Chain A
Amino acid sequence: MTVDPTRIVADVDVLVRDLFLDDTDRDALDQIRAHSWLTLIVNEAILEEATTIITAVADRDLAADWQSHLTAMATIVAYPPGDHPVISAAVRGNAAQLLTHDPQLLSAETGATFHELRVSAKPPDAFVRQFDPDPLYREYVGGAYPGPDRDPRE
């Protein structure tokens, strides 16, 4: 399977924390929002779980507006029922990076599976520390890195 380091899956926990907490989850997703050549990958299962949580802790209008905004920026890949939502999104989205806080997905056992799939699962703070757009841009887009090309909060 060919994976692409510019394609990044965000787990439900990261998406929800991005919305409610001004923390490293938001810093991580700001990097994706700030670079048009990075692609956030989600599927219907991830969207549904996140929307359920947002509705439960806030309200339906906020959840609907969040979903509308997120789907406008993300690439939505197919989700076969029965698949693990996040692993499925990574595989079907050819994503090389997966942002999550889920201890099960970050475990050594699951890590071996991700290693075979060439997917790197990490918490958002590690992504923020390690993310270096310059070499990524040069290799996968081409030319000199021009800096962020989008306002991450628009």
Chain B
Amino acid sequence: MTWTTLFDRAANYDMTDDDLEAAIAAVRDSRESENQE
């Protein structure tokens, strides 16, 4: 499998910058909460 194949498969999900930002923010918030504990 090549990176091109992976990118093509990922492109099928039509993710937008906003979609990814929301998903990344959720994980990042969790990371910061753990660091503050």
Binding site for B on A (CB under 8 A): 12-13, 16-17, 19-23, 26, 33, 49, 52-53, 56-58, 62, 65-66, 69, 84-85, 102, 104, 152-154
B6 A62 Cβ-Cβ under 8 A: yes
B3 A57 Cβ-Cβ under 8 A: no
In-complex Cβ contact of A52 among B4, B7, B11, B27 (8 A): B27
- Please judge, given known A-B contacts A57-B13, A58-B10, A102-B28, whether A17 and B4 are in contact too, CB under 8 Å: no
B6 A69 Cβ-Cβ under 8 A: yes
Specify which of A12, A19, A104 lies most central, judged by the most chain B CB atoms within 10 Å of its CB. Answer: A19
3 shortest interchain CB distances as A-B pairs: A20-B15, A153-B4, A153-B3
A49 B31 Cβ-Cβ under 8 A: yes
Number of A-B contacts (CB under 8 A): 67
Nearest-neighbour CB distance to chain A for B13, whole angstroms, equals 5
> What residues on B are CB-neighbors of A56 within 8 Å?
23
Interface size range on B against A: 20 to 34
Q: A12-B27, A53-B27 are in contact. List 14 more A-B contacts (CB 8 A).
A: A12-B24, A16-B20, A16-B23, A17-B17, A19-B10, A20-B13, A20-B15, A33-B3, A53-B24, A62-B10, A66-B10, A69-B1, A84-B35, A152-B3
A21 B17 Cβ-Cβ under 8 A: yes
Nearest-neighbour CB distance to chain A for B2, whole angstroms, equals 5
In-complex Cβ contact of A13 among B6, B9, B19, B24 (8 A): B24
> What residues on A are CB-neighbors of B9 within 8 Å?
62, 65
B6 A19 Cβ-Cβ under 8 A: yes
In-complex Cβ contact of B10 among A20, A23, A152 (8 A): A20
- Please judge, given known A-B contacts A12-B27, A57-B13, A58-B13, whether A17 and B6 are in contact too, CB under 8 Å: no
